[in-house]
Amino acid sequence: MADPSIFGGNERKEKEREMERAGRLPPGQSLTLKWPVLHYGSVPRFDPSKWDFRLWGLVAAPQSLSWDEFNHLPRISIHSDFHCVTRWSRFDNDWQGVALKEIMKLAQPRAEATYVLVHAEQGFTANVPLADLDRDNVLLATHHDGQPLTPDHGYPLRLIVPHLYAWKSVKWVRGLEFLDHDVPGFWEQNGYHMYGDPFREQRFDTD
């Protein structure tokens, strides 16, 4: 269970009821007005002169972009909710970054590509079906609520997949590997669900 201190008081309860009535609060979740920090391992250091973002696997056009090249890609803003598997939800987040649709234009996934293994710093991975990335509100975020991401929230680059549990919204992303089959990532190898739909409570591999 999540730490009760992250949630707040009467304002939170009123907002939570509002989100529940609107059908935006998944079952088993509680609303938080804060933004808790959760991740495995330490916060990696960022060196823009050495950083790159790679696209490889079943693609027609493999890519390796520098930090400067990535920041010259077209940018979008999205407004979405955020649901953590540890049972808290944060609503009405504003994200800015590069749309996954833009990334797919660069990489040109081949017809047989159906899954993506997201690669991050320190060897962390997460699996996501390609169709779930090919949505208008999925992006590689550099900013949150008008400010650059902080290091503990994934700076310089974080994947945001709003309709899945937040462990799929990988911090410190370094690349996408396009595959023709599903491969479990770090948390999926350690008992988490292969897909992770918060509205179906797909937290663990037994759900």
Class of domain 46-80+90-200: alpha beta
Predicted TM-score (pTM) of this structure = 0.93
Contact 67, 51 (CB under 8 A): yes
Place of tokens 């540890």: 86
The Cα-based distances of 92 to 12, 79, 170, 175, 189 in angstroms read 14, 6, 19, 27, 31
Q: What is the pLDDT of residues 71-128, one digit of tens each?
A: 999 999 999 999 999 999 999 999 999 999 999 999 999 999 999 999 999 999 999 9
Domains of the chain, by residue range, sit at 46-80+90-200
pLDDT per residue as tens digits for the range 17-45: 999 999 999 999 999 999 888 887 889 99
In the predicted structure, residue 47 carries a pLDDT above the cut 60: yes
Radius of gyration of the chain (CA): 17
Mean pLDDT throughout 188-205? 97
